[in-house]
Amino acid sequence: MPPPTTTTRPVPPAATWGLLAAFVLHDLEELWTMAEWRNRRSEELRTHYPWLPERATALLRTDQEHMATAIGLMGLITAAAAADGARTGGRSGFYQWMLTGFGLHAGSHLALSAAWRGYTPGVVTAPLVVAPFSAWALRTLHRHGVLRPMTVGDTVRSVAMAPALIVGVHAAASGIVRARRALRSRRAAGRRTR
Domain boundaries along the sequence of the chain: 13-193
Instruction: List, for residues 125-170, the tens digit of each pLDDT value.
Output: 999 999 999 999 999 999 999 999 888 887 787 778 888 999 999 9
Q: Calculate the average pLDDT of the chain.
A: 90
Which residue spans within the chain are E strands per DSSP?
A: none
Cβ count near 165 (within 10 Å): 15
pLDDT score for 12: 97
Label each residue of 15-29 as H, E or C.
HHHHHHHHHHHHHHH
* Polymer length of the chain: 194
Instruction: List, for residues 14-64, the tens digit of each pLDDT value.
Output: 999 999 999 999 999 999 999 899 888 888 888 888 888 888 777 778 889
**pLDDT at residue 176 greater than cutoff 60:** yes
